[in-house]
Amino acid sequence: MTETLFVIDDIAVTTGHALMAAAALALVVLIVLAVLQARAARERREEAAAADLRAREFEERMAALAKSQAETMGGLRAMNEALTGRQAELARVVGDSLTSVSHRLNQSLSATTQQTMDRLQNLHERLAVIDNAQKNITELSSQVTSLKEVLANKQTRGAFGQGRMEAIIRDALPTDAYEFQFTLSNRTRPDCAVFLADDGRPLIIDAKFPLEAFTAFRDGPTDEIRRQAAQRVRQDVLKHVNDIAARYLIPGETQELALMFVPSESVYADLHDGFDDVIQKAYRAQVLLVSPTLLVLAIQVIQHIRRDAKMREAAHQIRTEVGHLMDDLGRLQDRVLKLQQHFHKANEDVAQILISTEKINKRGGRIEALEFDGEEPPRDARLAMPSPLGRKIDAAE
C-alpha cells in the first residue's frame, strides 16, 4: 500500500494514494452519474408531462380542428348546394339568354337576308333600268346622228318639217278635216289645207325650216359674221313668208290668214327674240309663224270650232227629235191612265168575288154545325174555315 508509484514535485504517490484517488474518482463518477440520472429522470418526467400536455393540446387542437373541419364541411356543403342551385339557375338563365339571342340572331339574319335579297333585287332592277337607259341613250345617239344627217340636207330637212306637221294634224283631226298637198285654183299645192266646218275656205299650212342661216347666226365667231348671218335669216324667212302669201292666199278661196310651220322650238324662239321685225312683216303679210306647240294649240281651236259647227247643224234635228219624244210621252201617259182605270175596275171585281166567297164559307159552316140525332157536331165543323182574304171565319158567325 506504501509502494511508491511515481513522484510529482517531490511528492511520492503511493498505491494507497492511487486507490484513494481511484475511489474518490469513482465516487465522483457515481455522484455525477446519480446526478445525471436524477436530472435525466427529472427531464423524462418533465418531458412526459410536456408530452402529456402536448398530447392534450394536440387532442384539443384536433378536436377543434375536427369541429372546424365539420363546420367547414357543413359550410362547404351549404356552399356546394348554393353553388349547385346558382349554377343551375345560371345555366337556365344562360340557356334562356342563348335561346333568346339565337332567336333574335335568326330573326336578324332572316331580316338581313331578306333585306339583302330585296336590295339585290332592287339593284338588279336598277341595273336593268340603267341597261335599258344605256340602250335608249345609244339608240338616241344614233337617232341624233341620223337627225343631224337629215337636217344637213335641205330636201330631207323639208321632209322632216312636213312629217312633223302631218303627224300633229293626223293626231288631232279626222281625215275629212284636212288634205295634204291640196291643189288650189292657181295650180299651187300647199303642204296642208285644213277645212273648217262652217266655212268652205281652207286654212293653208306650209312647213319651212330655215336652219342653215340660223346655224351660221348661232355659230358665228365674230360680230360681223353674225350680222351677215342675221341678214341672211331675215332674207330667207321673208322669202318664205312672201312665197306663202303670194301662192296660197287667194281671196274668196282660202282663209285670209295662212300658217308657216317652223318645226323647231329653238328656231322659233330665236326668231321671236332677235327678229321682231320679221315677225311684224309676216303678220302684215297675213302669214302667222307657228312652232309645234302653237300648231297643236291652233289645231285644238279648230277642233272646238268644228265641234260647235256640228252642234249647230244638229240643233234642228235635236229639236225635232225632242218634239217626237214629247208626243210619245203624251201617248204613254194616256195609255197608263187607261191601264190604271182597268186595274181599278179589276180590283173592284175581285173585292166583290171575295165578299161572295166569305158568305159561302159562312153558310157552309152553319150547315156543318147542324145537329143530327142528338150527336155532338164534330169539333172541326165548329172551327173556322179558311177565307180567301187570308183570315179565318168562325162557324158561329
The distance between the two most distant Cα atoms of the chain, rounded to a whole number of Å, is 208
Q: HSE-up of 219 (CA within 13 Å, CB side)?
A: 6
Dist CA 297 CA 64 (whole Å): 118
The whole-model pTM stands at 0.42
Q: Which fold has domain 163-290?
A: Trna Endonuclease; Chain: A, domain 1 (3.40.1350)
Average pLDDT for residues 227-248, to the nearest whole number?
Answer: 85
Q: Domain segments of the chain: what residues? A: 4-99, 163-290, 356-393
- 162 Cβ partners below 8 Å, 6+ apart? 191, 207
Radius of gyration of the chain (CA): 70
User: What pLDDT, on a 0 to 100 scale, did the predictor assign at position 339?
Assistant: 81
Dihedral, 294, 298, 300, 301 alpha carbons, nearest 10: 140
The predicted-structure confidence for 332-373, as pLDDT tens digits, reads as follows: 888 888 888 887 888 888 888 888 888 888 887 778 776 544
Q: Is the pLDDT of residue 204 over 80?
A: yes
Mean pLDDT across the chain:
77
Residue 309 grid cell: 259647227
Average pLDDT for residues 192-218, to the nearest whole number?
Answer: 77
Across-strand partners of 195?
202
Q: Is the pLDDT of residue 19 over 50?
A: yes
Q: Is the pLDDT of residue 149 over 70?
A: no
Average pLDDT for residues 225-242, to the nearest whole number?
Answer: 83
The predicted-structure confidence for 306-335, as pLDDT tens digits, reads as follows: 787 777 776 777 777 777 778 888 888 888
- 385 Cβ partners below 8 Å, 6+ apart? 361, 364, 365, 392, 393, 395
DSSP-assigned letters across all residues of 2-28: --EEEEETTEEEEHHHHHHHHHHHHHH
DSSP 72: H
Residue 391 pLDDT level (bands cut at 50, 70, 90): very low
User: What pLDDT, on a 0 to 100 scale, did the predictor assign at position 13?
Assistant: 60
